[in-house]
């Protein structure tokens, strides 16, 4: 009897912790919102969209669906719906898993997916572990795919499964750190954290932003970033390349065109070395889908003035307007629309 009471009390404590962290994470853990928005909450974003923007944080802060819709109508008389499905730290495996989830929820697949070719999409695991292996809720098939593809080892795949089922394991570290920082240093910080998290949720699920996260019009100084190697060949993991191909093939099964472009860079990257690095990286992507009929790689001059960047990697709102305008014209050229 005593043992049963102890077990029951322990279960109640765990349930309370689960609900507590679930409630707290919704308000203070941005990563929980990011991972959930492309998995368990996909039903809230997978509406009938003609155009999807996919990629990492550079897409998230760099393409404005409402501007795309307005310009497509104004320039080409096209009535289109767009949504920004780019998320911070997203790499090729989660392009694939996210598109799976989107197609599972929508009745009509998009016509086009724009994909930014960020320099680390094919390697590195930091953001993957911090966001997607912590807060993306996988299906059983996705866990199996991650294991069979070599993306995760068997223990890692099992841990992903366990962690995805436990709010305590998913959010304890991030939620606790946010709360401790707020209450330990500046009590008002919790207000700013909650406000920022709520704003992010509005960008995911509200019609005003449709997935785009604006960052204002402040910009970097002209000499803030002096360049540096854009591409590291060591980052090109074979499993990441395989997932890029799987993403392209999944899109082809649903008659979706993919348009790949180099995200804009500040002028400091307009050097022979950096341009060569970008070309090398693009060649890896092109080679992996050489026989695919649904992929187009955009050729253009991917440099904008420093006043269009909020930081050395991300566009500000002015830069996002320019990039969005370019995607409208690329779409028109792809489909042969006339003004």
pLDDT at 42 over 80: yes
Say what the pTM is. Answer: 0.85
**242-286 per-position pLDDT tens digit:** 999 999 999 999 999 999 999 999 998 898 988 888 888 899 999
| Closest by CA position to 219, among listed 313, 311, 104 | 311
Alpha-carbon distance 303 to 266, whole Å?
Answer: 6
pLDDT at 178 over 80: no
Alpha-carbon distance 276 to 229, whole Å?
Answer: 10
Q: What is residue 30's predicted lDDT score, i.e. its pLDDT?
A: 76
56: left (phi over 0), alpha (psi -120 to 50) or beta: beta
Q: What is residue 10's predicted lDDT score, i.e. its pLDDT?
A: 37
* Domains in the chain: boundaries: 2-335
| Alpha carbon distances (Å) from 109 to 22, 82, 103, 112, 284 | 32, 12, 6, 9, 27
Alpha-carbon distance 45 to 65, whole Å?
Answer: 13
Element housing 218 (H / E) = none
pLDDT at 329 over 70: yes
Which CATH number applies to 2-335: 1.10.1200.10, 3.30.365.10, 3.40.50.1110, 3.40.50.720?
3.40.50.1110
Q: What is residue 124's predicted lDDT score, i.e. its pLDDT?
A: 83
Lowest mean pLDDT among 104-108, 116-120, 168-172, 187-191: 168-172
């Amino acid at each position: 009897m005593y043992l049963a009471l102890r077990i029951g009390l322990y279960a109640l404590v765990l349930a309370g912790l689960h609900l507590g962290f679930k409630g707290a994470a919704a308000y203070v853990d941005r990563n929980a919102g990011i991972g959930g928005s492309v998995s368990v909450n996909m039903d809230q974003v997978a509406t009938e969209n003609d155009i999807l923007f996919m990629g990492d944080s550079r897409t998230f802060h760099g393409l404005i669906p409402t501007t795309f819709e307005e310009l497509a109508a104004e320039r080409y008389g096209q009535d289109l719906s767009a949504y920004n499905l780019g998320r911070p730290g997203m790499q090729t495996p989660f392009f694939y898993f996210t598109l799976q989830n989107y197609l599972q929820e929508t009745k009509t697949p998009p016509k086009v997916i724009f994909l930014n070719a960020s320099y680390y999409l094919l390697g590195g695991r930091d953001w993957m572990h911090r966001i997607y292996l912590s807060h993306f809720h996988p299906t059983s098939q996705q866990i199996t795919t991650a294991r069979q593809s070599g993306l995760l080892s068997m223990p890692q795949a099992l841990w992903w499964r366990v962690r995805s089922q436990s709010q305590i394991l998913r959010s304890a570290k991030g939620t606790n750190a946010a709360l401790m920082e707020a209450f330990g240093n500046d009590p008002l910080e919790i207000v700013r954290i909650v406000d920022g998290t709520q704003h992010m949720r509005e960008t995911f699920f509200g019609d005003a932003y449709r997935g785009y996260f604006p960052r204002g019009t402040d910009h970097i100084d002209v000499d803030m970033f002096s360049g540096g190697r854009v591409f590291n060949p060591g980052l090109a993991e074979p499993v990441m390349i395989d997932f890029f191909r799987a993403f392209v093939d999944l899109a082809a099964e649903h008659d979706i065109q993919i348009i790949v472009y180099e995200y804009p860079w500040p002028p400091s990257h307009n050097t022979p070395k950096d341009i060569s690095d970008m070309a090398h990286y693009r060649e890896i992507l092109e080679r992996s889908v050489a026989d695919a009929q649904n992929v187009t790689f955009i050729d253009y001059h991917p440099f904008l003035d420093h006043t269009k960047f909020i930081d050395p990697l991300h566009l500000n709102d002015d830069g996002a307007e320019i990039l969005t305008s370019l995607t409208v014209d690329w779409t028109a050229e792809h489909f042969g629309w006339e003004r």
